[in-house]
Amino acid sequence: MIEIDKKSDTPIYEQIAQRIISQILSGSLRPGERIPSVRQLARQLSVNPNTIQKSYAGLLENGIIYSIKGKGDFVANNLNALRYMKKKELITELVQLTQEAKQAGLWIDELLSTVDSAYSERLI
């Protein structure tokens, strides 16, 4: 089940792609598994099918999904590449947040303590 936030600043097509990527990384969607059709997902989310198509086009372009004519779209078998791509994205965000934290006067030990606490909670 994909959920979107229509009030978010993030475009809907990006939210959809992010949710699919998250489901793949979490194991909810597995390689070779069929994802909902454009029409099906558009109805489910009450959005324009072109929005879904734009999201799927980005996923196809990045090799996250593949299409079989007449059968649908499926999760590609490239979990390592997807994890690498996600790590790069997260590192970029972390660098930006670290710079903002420094500008706001957050000391490195406070930052590291916060990250350590957040990371530990995720592992429990």
Tens of pLDDT along 102-123?
A: 999 999 999 898 888 888 875 4
The crossing angle, in degrees rounded to 10, of helices 38-45 and 49-61 is 130
Instruction: Quote the CA–CA distance of 12 and 10 in Å, as a whole number.
Output: 6
CA angle 61, 59, 122 (to 5 degrees): 135
Tokens of 4: 């979107």
Stretch (H or E) spanning 115: helix 108-123
High-pLDDT (> 70) share of the chain, %? 98
pLDDT of 95 reads 94
Query: Hunting for tokens 């997807």 — which residue is that?
Result: 82
> Which pTM value belongs to this model?
0.76
pLDDT of 122 reads 58
